Structure 1
Amino acid sequence: MPRRQQTGSGRTIGVGWSDDSSADDGPGAERSAPQAPGGAGRSGPGGPLPPPASAAGRRRRPLLLVGAVAALLALVLVLPSVLLGGVPAEEVAERYLEAVVAGDAKTVREHLAPQDDVLDIALTDAVLAATGDPIERFSIDRVSIDGDSAEIIATLARGEVALEITLHLARHREGLLRRPVWELQPVQLPVLKVEIPVGSDALRINGHLLEIPVAHRPREAFVMSEIRLHVLPGSVELQAQEIGDHVTPRTVRVEVPPVLGDWTSRSADAGFELTEQGTEELSGQLVDSLETCARSTSAHPEGCPFAAPSGVSGPGSWELTRVPDVHVAEQEHGLIHLMVFADAEFTVPPSASGTAPQTHRVVIDADAMAVLDRDGRFHTDWLLGPVYGDSTPGE
């Protein structure tokens, strides 16, 4: 029986996967390679291979590698600091001492150990910058660490003077990682004692007029009052505030050695000195006082710097026979010592019994003291002592 011949009108059924399963492949058509479900791919001995990387993916790989390296470097650099305690105790002390040398008032104040009734008004950048012969250099000599405590021995130098100081630090933990941190313990600064006139509400330090807090202003009625100041080592210049033409502020300079610790100066007298106008004013007050005494009829006027010789009594009359000569002997701690020289005569009139009048000459060699009150006014008083004179009978 003859074999049936296939015609070209038949439909070819593809075997395996193709790009388009609905397409007709004619005789001799080239078949596509088998594909994995979901897209084109290459076949390998062990099954389908992953699809080739895109161009964007190839660009991201170096960036990820660089980021990983940077993160590793940051970890290597930061982790030892976290584990070992951050800034070493020695460096913390060095930073503070550098601030002292530079006159950094903010840093100095931050680490100041406060003391009762000691003012910090002198710890300003302007005042510290104007301090003469400040600390020039320092050295760290020894570092001792005992657990969470450290002791730093350093040397401060000012001119030819170099002194040893001690700083104390404590270590504590802070932050989420509980990182150890060294902290400088409060530092005690030198203390300067200054006597200022009563009524003062400001003090000039190194040329800068600084207000004194109300609670620390002098409350006395006369003379001087003392305040205490925190200062840094160096030459500190002090002046009282001006109050008038009769006195001028005295300039006093205090040398503070290169120390940080328990040191207190002697009391510095930042008072006044008399001007020519002030001397004339005081001289006039004392002459007026002598003239008032001379109007007395008593042989021993009360509260006066002269009297008739002992044994002379009864009423009489006084006369100043020499113009008083007033000298300023000393000015210290708000007290003005004055000396007055003059001559006087006390005359006893004749008695009813016919006794001749008698004149008694008296040499006045007197001392007086003057002070200023809160309003800047002078107050004088005689320093009374023995009075010497001779007696000459009248004609």
Structure 2
Amino acid sequence: MPSSAHDPAGEPREPHGEETEGVPAAGQDGHGTTSQDAPTIQNAPTTHDGIAAQDAPTSRAGAVPAEDGAHTEHGTAAAPGAAGTTGAAGTAGAAAPNGQQPYTYAPPAALASMTPRHWWVPAVAGAAGYVGTVVGTVVAMLLTLLGALISGDSNGSLTEQLDDQIDDYTGTAPDLSGVSWFLSIPFQLAAMAALVPLRLSASFAGEGGNAGITVPQYFALVCGILAAWFVARALTKDVSVQTRAVQWVMAAVGGAVWGALALIVTAVTALRLDVPVFYSTVQLRISAVGVGLFVVLFLVGLLTVASALNVRSTQAAPGRLVIGAERSMPGVLQVLRPMVVQFCVFGAVAGLGLLIWAFVKGGAVAGFSAPFWLPIAVGWLFVLSLLSALTAGGAAATYTDLAGSSHAAYLWSEGAVPAWVVVLCILLALVSVVCAAVAWAHVRPVNQRIARNPVAWAVLPVAYFVLGLLAMWLLNVSGYASATSGSSQSAGFSLRPAGWTCLVFLLWGAVIELLARFVAPAFMGSLPAVVTRWLRGSERARGRPAVVASAAAMGGAVVAAAPAAASAAPAAASSAPSYPAAETARTEPVSAQRAYDGAAAPGEQTRVLPTYGDAQAAAEPQPREPMDPQKKKRIRLIAIIAGAVILLVVAAIIVFSVLSRTVFGPDNQAEELLQSVTDGKAKAVSEVADPNVSTGQRGLLTDEVYGAAENRVSSYEIKDTQIDGDHATVNATVTQDGVTTPVALPMVSDSRNGLFKSWRVDSTAGSELYQSFSVRIPGGVSELTVNGTKVPVDSLSDSHEEEFTVLPGDYDVSIASSGKYVTYGGDQVAQIRAGSQGSAPSMSFSASFTPVLKEDLTKQLNAKLDTCAKSTSFEPEGCPFSYSIFGDKKDYRNPSWSIERYPTYSVSSYGDHTTYSTDKSGEVRLDYQYNTEYDDDEPAKWKDKDTTSSIYGSGTVTVSGDKITVNSED
């Protein structure tokens, strides 16, 4: 930023608008006489009390102080108040023997010019920075709590919920409702803004463990930076910063106070808890104290306060270090602007999109907690959109070895990100690259000096390379846990930009450099003025870099006007050198001694280093000789072609990457599979994902059977895709019967579709969508009825078991009866759920008989009894009743059978055999005549008699369709 030594109009001004009389220079005697060889110092600045600041004289117009007010061209200290300078009482100038002045200690000029206000103002700014960080943390916590209250997810306070969790485990809950939590947690979280981990240490019965997590809190850090910057700016309105050395000393004070205050407060507010566990006590300590806490906040405070004080500096011209850096590396002072422009363009749009996405997907809690996660999420998205990756790593090893495997995730490898979002993010990244190129073309125009310096090509790419290295540190979220129970063991995780991010950023820096040189100049003049002003910054903001560039173009010579030529000094100071003068000057630099002697050597040209007040003149572009129109046309054509080729190559790479991950990616095949499952198209599912089973087991994988199934998969969602070479796993969720279940679909690529890989479901690994169930089928059955569709099965004489592979849903299975006598029971339902890991469900069918069988069997048996009753024999053949005659059969005659009561029967089935038996006996009557005459010589005397007997019967029954065959065992 420019100095305020000159107002915006370019008029020089003093810090307080006051002037003092000349101060005796080195070599004066006690009476104020001035030696002829010493220049007179004019316009010495005053302190804030109006007293002349004799310790830090300012050169008169045309005279140039050395860098930081401490060095001349030869590096000799020009500290006021050194040996030979008279004191306030005039006694210090007493001559020593041999005419030498006595030695008197003089502090460095930077410290000598500092008043108490120069010390306490940056200290207050540093303290304000820490307070702002804590306030930002408290604001983030309150917003998160507000989101929880709005969403209605908060059942009691957070401390009460934590109390309940600990009480469930230990049986005794500690008191977490005290003020210690509210006094400790904000300060510990604020310390995480310095990229230090929040650590938890526990000790129990001589054993212990440690855990920590690092989540940078950039919202709180930005709040602290703004607080420190505005406080430093407000308190230094009446403070002059005469040299850059004073500026950086004050900045160091502010940074030291900020870091030390954070370190002390964080250590004091560390949370200590004693949690009773059974018969012992667990000692917990939560703290974010670490060495990095002071180091990081010191650097942040240093840069913040230095930036705020930049406008207060009254140093007339840049120093040698700055000029040398600009001369050797043109544009190094402006290199931050294209980076800031690029990130602001990308971050503004991406941050708004992420915030909307958080409210839509995560609700009020996710949206209002954005200060905790949004800054680092935007940084991750920035890295991913520039075609780099995030590395997710884990570790489970010894305490001294946390090396573990890692997985790189690209923007398009996360299945939760739709393809159109991937395309928009990449397009936004390209727009930010173009804006950075235009900004770079504005703030570092290519003149002859830059065009001749090959290092100028590497300034921006190297800066982007460094930015990539910093991103791996600044965007790192990690955690660890270790235990020392017996043997030291630990585990950890990290999520950060991949190790090659710096190389990716290096390439983008080269692309921006090319665009800024060859493409941006062709159209940046046609941009709206407000856009141009924003991209290049105000003239005031560009003042100091322009002066430094002008000084570097002059060769870095520090030339002061001689006191004897004081009359020519105002004219020299009023006109700043232009680039043509800098480019064409060929004279050697004038020595500092000759400059102070007031005369230039013969043949030498005296040149004056431009001051910061000449920013506008120094920033004007260098007039060049008109270029040949044909050559200019060829260069423009080549630039357009080169830019178009670069853009086409980048676009082709982006399109190929996006298509490889979306249209031709594994998640596309998974979506096709899940959509077919949802639509009930089993045939299409089996074509995309072969179940790898026999033909008999595929009997239910038909559209007729699966399409009629109840409680199929109603919806699905692709979550993410993990690709490892030719193998991938698509993680998704399916909703079935109101229950959401995660499923993992293994994919393999063993062929190509043109330039792209062709993916299919890995049948050898199986799929969680396919399940199986078995059916026990009675003998003689040749088909099943499943969801109303006839499904043929093998017909065997004995019962057997069939296994089927099916998709998630409900399957209604039944066996149709082959006649009126046999039934196999009612329908049975198999409920198949996605992702179920239990044993396969099974069902069993067995034959049973209808009441008609018993009725018809009884009729058939009774008809046989009726037939037997018509017999005229005492022992009817094949009948269940008979009468045994004892004695001479000629004494019995005229048998007559009649059924008094028919028996009842029961039917039983044992396996494939069906039998019947008498359930309740019947009764039959026999009427006959008996010869009562015992003498054979006498005529027979016949007498009527009768008898009854029970009827029993049993046998087997053979059922064939609607026909039964009875085999009696009588």
The partner residue of 1:124 within 688, 691, 702 is 702
Q: What is the Cα-based RMSD across aligned positions, in Å?
A: 5.8
SS in 2 for 1:190: strand
Q: Please name the residue that 1:274 is paired with.
A: 850
- C-alpha separation in 2, matches of 1:149 and 1:324: 75
SS in 1 for 2:842: coil
The partner residue of 1:344 within 904, 918, 923 is 923
SS in 2 for 1:283: helix
5+ residue gaps, structure 1, are 1-48, 51-61, 388-395
Matches within 5 A, 1:377-388: 377-381=962-966
Matches within 5 A, 1:72-83: 73-79=651-657, 81-82=659-660
Task: Give the residue type in structure 2 aligned to 1:195.
Answer: I
The partner residue of 2:860 within 278, 285, 289 is 285
Task: Please state how far the C-alpha of 1:258 moved relative to its aligned partner.
Answer: 0.6
Task: Please state how far the C-alpha of 1:128 moved relative to its aligned partner.
Answer: 1.9
- C-alpha separation in 1, matches of 2:886 and 2:718: 81
- C-alpha separation in 2, matches of 1:294 and 1:179: 88
Task: Give the residue type in structure 1 aligned to 2:747.
Answer: L
Task: Please state how far the C-alpha of 1:77 moved relative to its aligned partner.
Answer: 0.8
Q: Please name the residue that 1:191 is paired with.
A: 773
Matches within 5 A, 1:304-315: none
Q: Please name the residue that 2:786 is paired with.
A: 205
Task: Please state how far the C-alpha of 1:105 moved relative to its aligned partner.
Answer: 1.6
- C-alpha separation in 2, matches of 1:83 and 1:237: 40
Q: Please name the residue that 2:829 is paired with.
A: 254
The answer on whether the counterparts of 2:823 and 2:850 sit within 8 Å (CA) in structure 1 is yes
Deviations 1:73-93 (A, max 9, x none): 3542124544999414x5544
Task: Give the residue type in structure 2 aligned to 1:206.
Answer: N
The partner residue of 1:323 within 896, 902, 910 is 902
Task: Please state how far the C-alpha of 1:301 moved relative to its aligned partner.
Answer: 8.1
Q: Please name the residue that 2:746 is paired with.
A: 168
Deviations 1:215-272 (A, max 9, x none): x44143xx86665444333332234456566667854122223146872512245x68
Give the length in aligned residue pairs. Answer: 317
Deviations 1:137-165 (A, max 9, x none): 56778977666445567666644777776
The answer on whether the counterparts of 2:917 and 2:954 sit within 8 Å (CA) in structure 1 is yes
Q: Please name the residue that 1:87 is paired with.
A: 665
- C-alpha separation in 1, matches of 2:896 and 2:741: 70
Structure with more relative contact order (C-alpha pairs < 8 Å, separation 6 or more)? 1
Q: Please name the residue that 1:237 is paired with.
A: 812
- Residue 80 and residue 117 in structure 1: after superposition, are their counterparts in 2 closer, same or farther (change >3 A)? closer
Q: Please name the residue that 1:101 is paired with.
A: 678
The answer on whether the counterparts of 2:727 and 2:746 sit within 8 Å (CA) in structure 1 is yes
- C-alpha separation in 2, matches of 1:233 and 1:353: 90
Task: Give the residue type in structure 2 aligned to 1:218.
Answer: S
Task: Give the residue type in structure 2 aligned to 1:132.
Answer: E
Deviations 1:160-214 (A, max 9, x none): 77777664333334245473635332544323415267364x5432223x362xx
Aligned pair 1:361/2:949, yes or no? yes
- C-alpha separation in 1, matches of 2:746 and 2:886: 77
Aligned pair 1:263/2:840, yes or no? yes
The answer on whether the counterparts of 1:250 and 1:272 sit within 8 Å (CA) in structure 2 is yes
5+ residue gaps, structure 2, are 1-629, 632-639, 890-894, 935-942
- Residue 82 and residue 94 in structure 1: after superposition, are their counterparts in 2 closer, same or farther (change >3 A)? closer
SS in 1 for 2:693: coil
SS in 2 for 1:266: strand
The answer on whether the counterparts of 2:870 and 2:897 sit within 8 Å (CA) in structure 1 is yes
- C-alpha separation in 2, matches of 1:231 and 1:84: 29
TM-score calculated relative to the size of structure 1: 0.54
TM-score calculated relative to the size of structure 2: 0.26
- C-alpha separation in 2, matches of 1:136 and 1:383: 59
- C-alpha separation in 1, matches of 2:910 and 2:741: 33
- Residue 318 and residue 160 in structure 1: after superposition, are their counterparts in 2 closer, same or farther (change >3 A)? farther
SS in 1 for 2:665: coil
Task: Give the residue type in structure 2 aligned to 1:362.
Answer: S
Matches within 5 A, 1:151-162: 158-159=736-737
- Residue 325 and residue 80 in structure 1: after superposition, are their counterparts in 2 closer, same or farther (change >3 A)? same
Identity value in percent: 20
- C-alpha separation in 2, matches of 1:152 and 1:312: 91
SS in 1 for 2:810: strand
Task: Please state how far the C-alpha of 1:362 moved relative to its aligned partner.
Answer: 2.0
- C-alpha separation in 2, matches of 1:369 and 1:332: 11
- Residue 177 and residue 151 in structure 1: after superposition, are their counterparts in 2 closer, same or farther (change >3 A)? closer
Structure showing the higher helix proportion among its residues: 2
- Residue 289 and residue 173 in structure 1: after superposition, are their counterparts in 2 closer, same or farther (change >3 A)? same
Task: Please state how far the C-alpha of 1:351 moved relative to its aligned partner.
Answer: 9.7
- Residue 225 and residue 163 in structure 1: after superposition, are their counterparts in 2 closer, same or farther (change >3 A)? same
SS in 2 for 1:179: strand
Task: Give the residue type in structure 1 aligned to 2:780.
Answer: V
Structure showing the higher strand proportion among its residues: 1
The answer on whether the counterparts of 2:820 and 2:850 sit within 8 Å (CA) in structure 1 is no
- C-alpha separation in 2, matches of 1:368 and 1:123: 45
Q: Please name the residue that 1:218 is paired with.
A: 795
SS in 2 for 1:191: strand
The answer on whether the counterparts of 1:193 and 1:228 sit within 8 Å (CA) in structure 2 is yes
SS in 1 for 2:701: coil
Q: Please name the residue that 1:38 is paired with.
A: none
The partner residue of 1:113 within 691, 701, 714 is 691
- C-alpha separation in 2, matches of 1:313 and 1:93: 91
